[in-house]
Amino acid sequence: MSQHAAEIPAPVDGERALNGGPTPVSARFITLYVIAYLGIYLATMTPLLVSLAIQLERIDPAGKSTSLGLVVGIGTLASIVSGLLFGVFSDNTTARLGRRKPWIIGGIPVLLGGAALTGLATSVPGVMAGFVVSQLGLSSITTSLQAILPDQVPEQQRGKVSGLLGFTAQIAGVVGFQMANPLKGTPLLLFLVPALLACLALVPVVLLMPDRAIRPEERSGEGIVAMLRGLTFNPRRHPDLGWTWAGRFLIQLSLMFLTTYQLYFLTDHLGYRLDKVTGLLALTGGIGLVMTSLGAVVSGVQSDRLHRRKLFIYLAAGCFAVGFSVVATASSFLQVFVGSEIILLGAGVFGAVDIALVTDVIPNRETEGAKYMSVFGIASALPQSVAPLVAPVLLAIGGGDNYTLLFLTAAGVAAAGGLTVRPIRGVR
């Protein structure tokens, strides 16, 4: 219940004070937001990390690497295109529920339906169709969920909130591997259980979190063609935006080389059995939670306290480069484990600061937050298409099993991604 001072209600979470200053969000708001992100990351990452690889191993063992790249690439393309549309539509939605909640609610049945189709598929085209449908549902939900950060979280809290959100990605990866072992005998459950958990995590957001409804006159008033044209931005006019986008793309691309192919790396290159690999990866992720926690929470809080973002991006890129170099020369799981833990530390640091950096540099966050978060969503999603297309080419050099080149390339890409923050002027 709002308290009153001189008959004027104090602003609640996500609103602004009468003098225009940002109002800090509450611990309850942050908790619900983080839980929702955890659920969505679980539904997003579990198929990419393990479920699709296991399903395609069952359906197309001879062509699994190519099929994996094709399915992930097409699904990601659908996610990118739909995310742009959903971002524009969300910014201009005038429903009484608000701008974001209708698109979260609408995405839930689509996600569940796509997950069921993917799990029931008996052919590569069937897997692809189901995965595309699930990506459309995720895109509707994620685009609106991401927009809540610039909509409602003030700058002084973005580092902390971003750190917690980055941490949830690592938790989701560990939980995904833990679930895969008992569920891999039932393909339907491999995809449907993470989707169901994600939908349950969204219920408190829909029921309890604020979402300001806009009036029809507050919409942009542009036609759909003009709105879609507005999804692009001029890097010369907004150079900070351009460099930040490029940095996220490169860092995510390097990470996708590992996450997409680590299961096949351990089975085909190092010779581990599939039933053992899921347990080993769960162990890696479980211990990696400590590394990610250290990276995400500490760097997020310190980034806010020091009012610096670039330093932590440099640190994250360095961890990625070192970790990938260790994995590239691995001859046993132990070496893969060490390299992966260094990478997870970097992922925690990057995940904490990157979201805060993005929200710091986007223009017009009050009226076009979802649109620009959708544009930045491309930098996260596009590597999911690019990595599976580039990786087979790199692997084929020198005999078809060149994981050393693949992961050394990832190290170089990550280092380049870290350097992109150097020209940014609007953030320290």
| Gap between the Cα atoms of 415 and 316, Å rounded | 9
Work out whether the CA dihedral 121, 122, 128, 129 comes out positive or negative: negative
Predicted local confidence at residue 366, as pLDDT:
58
CA distance 409 to 65: 18
| pLDDT reported for residue 364 | 64
Count of CB atoms within 10 A of residue 393's CB? 11
Question: Residue 215's Cα: distance from chain center in Å?
Answer: 31
A 10 A CB-CB count for 226 gives 11
Domain spans of the chain, in order of start: 25-212+221-419
> Is the CB of residue 107 less than 8 Å from the CB of residue 139?
yes
The pLDDT of residue 20: 44
Per-residue pLDDT of the chain (428 residues; tens, 9 = 90+): 333 433 323 334 544 443 344 578 888 888 999 999 999 999 998 898 889 988 998 898 888 878 888 898 899 889 888 887 887 788 778 888 888 899 999 999 999 999 999 999 999 999 999 999 999 999 999 988 888 887 888 877 877 787 677 667 767 877 887 777 777 778 899 999 999 999 999 999 889 888 877 777 666 555 556 555 655 666 677 677 788 888 889 998 998 888 878 888 888 888 888 778 777 877 787 787 788 777 777 776 777 676 777 888 888 999 999 999 999 999 888 999 999 899 988 888 887 777 777 777 776 655 555 666 667 777 877 887 788 788 888 888 877 688 899 999 999 999 998 888 788 775 66
Instruction: Give me 87's structure tokens.
Output: 């971002």
What span, in angstroms and rounded, lies between the C-alpha atoms of 277 and 275?
6
Tokens of 268: 């085909």
Q: Give the model's pLDDT for residue 108.
A: 95
Distance CA 159, CA 301 (A): 6
Residues 195 and 42 sit within 8 Å (Cβ to Cβ): no
Is the distance from CB of 121 to CB of 129 less than 8 angstroms? yes
Quote the pTM value. 0.70
The CATH H-level superfamily of 25-212+221-419 is: MFS general substrate transporter like domains (1.20.1250.20)
H and E: helices and strands count for the chain: 15, 2
